[in-house]
């Protein structure tokens, strides 16, 4: 199999009537890179992929594969493999015929055709399944045939739109590993669309976070999670607490902020604004319940409002003793020696000055985070009590 080629999207736009489905999207993808487009429903992920594949024509902008501009080329001349969630196999054709189809379309026949199909079916671990019909395969096997069909003509770029969406969780996680293994061994360039943040974080070299047709942020999974640049990214990927704060001063020790009358310090470098109202963002797992004698750069007194056992962590909802009252979520890992708190218990919590991020604007405009009573209520009302028991108080 040949390796991948770089893919470049330059200021891509797509307008459907009055709907700006994709707006000014520029992304440079390296050869052999695995890049995910992640975003909520309607954020323009599929539209972007359709333009790259050639099923949709951009309203503006350019697409390059390697050095070749492909914007005007028909689908079959772009050398791109596609796997879409609903891109079903041909039901009346065998596994062999389904995979052979893409080669026949390209004029391959005879022993070259048979060898190509056999090699690709072996790659996706379906050697011996040539004679089966699609309805005689499991969902995961069907998805692997679809993958073989996309790989068989050795494309330099593969596009996948929610390819694992129809699979159950276990099979999905298995296929994620299979896909990564395959992509690494073939060194193919992959553009992968998902609205599952966990999937994007575990599979991608880089993630493009989309919102309302635009790129919000591009970065490695770690960059996106640790240093979200916007409130949207911070709340869409992982859980976040947002606190209204006032940036008072920049000093050699970092930024000095006021949160509800308490001084808070942040050493985060990535904030341009001088002083004024800001949002302090902190991940639940970065907040530490402090036992007697232990200290943190930033400390708050609070009262435990809710306790939820989540297996790997215990989540506490803590009402901070500031005015007006503010709630934060704390996710504490479960070690044998970790303290366990009960509802109504007084606690001290804190975090390191390096762990808080600053975002412009006020916290209360968000739908997640500190003010998110609804999310907690939903957690308690919809949770299967056998799987996520509330600890006895
Ligand atoms: N053929 C079309 N005609 C008109 N509007 C369209 C068309 N295709 C998509 N849109 C609109 O463009 C926007 C982006 O749609 P798109 O399918 O790219 O979203 P998506 O990010 O793939 O969402 P999802 O996660 O639900 O698949 C949406 O507002 C959608 O309604
Ligand atoms: Mg879509």
pLDDT digits (tens, 9 = 90+) for 49-63: 999 999 999 999 999
Atom 1 (ligand 1): residue with closest C-alpha? 16
pLDDT digits (tens, 9 = 90+) for 153-176: 889 999 999 988 877 888 888 888
Q: Which atom of ligand 1 is nearest to the CA of 39?
A: 21
Q: Quick one: average pLDDT of 90-119? A: 94
- Can you give the residue ranges of every domain in the chain? 7-231, 239-382
Query: How many CA atoms lie within 13 Å of 227's alpha carbon, on the beta-carbon side?
Result: 11
> How high is the pLDDT of residue 383?
31
Spacing, Cα 192 to ligand 1 middle (Å): 16
Q: Which two tokens stand for residue 153?
A: 């003509």
Distance in angstroms (rounded) separating the CA atoms of residues 358 and 65? 38
Q: How confident is residue 139, by pLDDT bands cut at 50, 70 and 90?
A: confident
Query: How many CA atoms lie within 13 Å of 348's alpha carbon, on the beta-carbon side?
Result: 10
* End-to-end Cα separation, the chain, in angstroms: 60
DSSP H or E segment with residue 111: helix 110-123
Spatial strand order of the sheet with 189-194 comes to 80-84, 157-161, 189-194, 34-38, 206-211, 214-219
Which residues' Cβ are closer than 6 Å to ligand 1? Answer: 16, 19, 21, 39, 41-47, 195
> How high is the pLDDT of residue 391?
33
Q: Kindly report the CATH class assigned to 239-382.
A: mainly beta
Q: Which two tokens stand for residue 258?
A: 């006021």
Write down the CATH number for the domain with range 7-231.
3.40.50.300
Q: Quick one: average pLDDT of 295-311? A: 93
């Amino acid at each position: 199999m040949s390796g991948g080629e770089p893919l470049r999207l330059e200021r891509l736009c797509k307008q459907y009537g009055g709907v700006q489905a994709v707006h000014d999207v520029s992304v440079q993808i390296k050869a052999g890179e695995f890049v995910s487009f992640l975003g909520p429903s309607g954020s323009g992920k599929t539209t972007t992929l359709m333009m790259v594949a050639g099923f949709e024509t951009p309203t503006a902008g350019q697409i390059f594969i390697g050095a070749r501009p492909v914007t005007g080329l028909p689908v079959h001349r772009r050398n791109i493999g596609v796997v879409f969630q609903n891109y079903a196999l041909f039901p009346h054709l065998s596994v062999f015929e389904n995979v052979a189809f893409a080669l026949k379309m390209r004029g391959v026949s005879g022993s070259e055709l048979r060898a190509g199909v056999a090699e690709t079916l072996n790659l996706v671990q379906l050697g011996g399944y040539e004679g089966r019909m699609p309805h005689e395969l499991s969902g995961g096997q069907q998805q692997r045939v679809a993958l073989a069909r996309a790989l068989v003509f050795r494309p330099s770029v593969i596009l996948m739109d929610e390819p694992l969406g129809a699979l159950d969780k276990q099979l999905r996680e298995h296929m994620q590993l299979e896909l990564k293994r395959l992509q690494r061994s073939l060194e193919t360039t992959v553009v992968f669309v998902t609205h599952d943040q966990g999937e994007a974080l575990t599979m991608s070299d880089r993630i493009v976070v989309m919102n309302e047709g635009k790129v919000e942020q591009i970065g490695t999974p770690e960059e996106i999670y640790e240093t979200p640049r916007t409130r949207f990214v911070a709340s869409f990927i992982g859980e976040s607490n947002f606190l209204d704060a006032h940036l008072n001063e920049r000093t050699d020790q970092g930024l000095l902020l006021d949160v509800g009358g308490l001084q808070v310090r942040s050493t985060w470098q990535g904030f341009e604004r001088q002083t004024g109202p800001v949002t302090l963002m902190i991940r639940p797992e970065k907040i530490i319940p402090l036992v007697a004698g232990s200290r943190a750069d930033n400390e708050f007194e609070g009262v435990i409002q809710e306790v939820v056992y989540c297996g790997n962590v215990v989540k506490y909802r803590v009402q901070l003793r500031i005015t007006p009252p503010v709630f934060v979520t704390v996710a504490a890992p479960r070690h044998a020696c970790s303290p366990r708190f009960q509802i109504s218990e007084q606690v001290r919590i804190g975090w390191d000055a390096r762990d808080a991020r600053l975002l412009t604007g006020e916290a209360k405009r968000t739908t997640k985070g500190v003010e998110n009573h609804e999310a907690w209520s939903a957690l308690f009302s919809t949770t299967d009590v056998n799987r996520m028991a509330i600890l006895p108080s």
